[in-house]
Amino acid sequence: MSGDNNSDPSAPYFNSIGTPTEVAGESINFTVVANDPNGMNLTLSFDGNLGPNLNPFTAGASFDTFSGNFTWATDVNDAGTYSVRFIATNNAVPPQSSHVDVTIRVLSLTEVGQTLYIMHCQNCHGANGAGGSASLVQCSTEISIREALGLVQGVGGVSAMSGIAGQMDSPTSDIQAIAYFLQNVNPTPNFCGNN
């Protein structure tokens, strides 16, 4: 019930939703559960037009006021911070209502890739892939990173890099994000021939 605006003990209240966070391109799904202390019937409604954060509904999200299901298949361009207010109203006379404001974060692949690059690669390959004790890796592709990490059968990995893949939470998507970062970090147009 954290975040409810109405502290009246007889007002509806919400189960905690937290801060849903996903990488752009992934789906965000959660269920809004509202309760009434006196067992009254509740009606859910919503408002995405809160500002200054973005409105998830104009970006393609939907909310089912009967089931309480919020669903949004984000696309790669949806990175940003969004807000939505969920409102629960009971059928008391007069009706009582509460609302909870939820922040939804959609992370850009570049942001995710940068965090992972700093964690796993920067020590040797320098800031933004520009090179350090090891060569520059700007523009590296997913497959070249997989090879260097020793994840491609028949290709000997770089011995200095052995063990890194084992420290990643999910190597496939982590490497994808790192490659995306390395291909898009250089501000010079078309530096990697990809844009």
Binding site for ligand HEC (CB under 6 A): 120-121, 123-125, 134-135, 137, 140, 144-145, 148, 158, 160-161, 164, 178
Which lies closer to ligand HEC via its Cβ, residue 47 or residue 111?
111
What secondary structure letter does DSSP report for 139? Answer: T
CB-based contacts of 187, cutoff 8 Å, min separation 6? none
Which lies closer to ligand HEC via its Cβ, residue 73 or residue 130?
130
Closest CA to 84 of 66, 98, 70: 70
Q: Return the amino acid letter for 94.
A: P
Beta carbon of residue 102, minimum distance to ligand HEC (angstroms, whole number): 34
Beta carbon of residue 117, minimum distance to ligand HEC (angstroms, whole number): 6
Q: Can you read off the two tokens belonging to residue 27?
A: 């789906």
CB-based contacts of 165, cutoff 8 Å, min separation 6? 149, 150, 151, 171
Beta carbon of residue 159, minimum distance to ligand HEC (angstroms, whole number): 8
Beta carbon of residue 120, minimum distance to ligand HEC (angstroms, whole number): 4
> Rounded to whole angstroms, how far apart are CA atoms 106 and 4?
23
> Rounded to whole angstroms, how far apart are CA atoms 190 and 151?
29
Measured from each CB, the residue nearest to ligand HEC is: 121
Residue 49 to residues 15, 110, 150: CA-CA distances in angstroms? 22, 27, 48
Beta carbon of residue 25, minimum distance to ligand HEC (angstroms, whole number): 20
Which lies closer to ligand HEC via its Cβ, residue 11 or residue 145?
145
Which lies closer to ligand HEC via its Cβ, residue 80 or residue 132?
132
Beta carbon of residue 176, minimum distance to ligand HEC (angstroms, whole number): 11
> Rounded to whole angstroms, how far apart are CA atoms 152 and 112?
23
Which lies closer to ligand HEC via its Cβ, residue 59 or residue 158?
158
Which lies closer to ligand HEC via its Cβ, residue 161 or residue 192?
161
DSSP reduced 3-state for 118:
helix
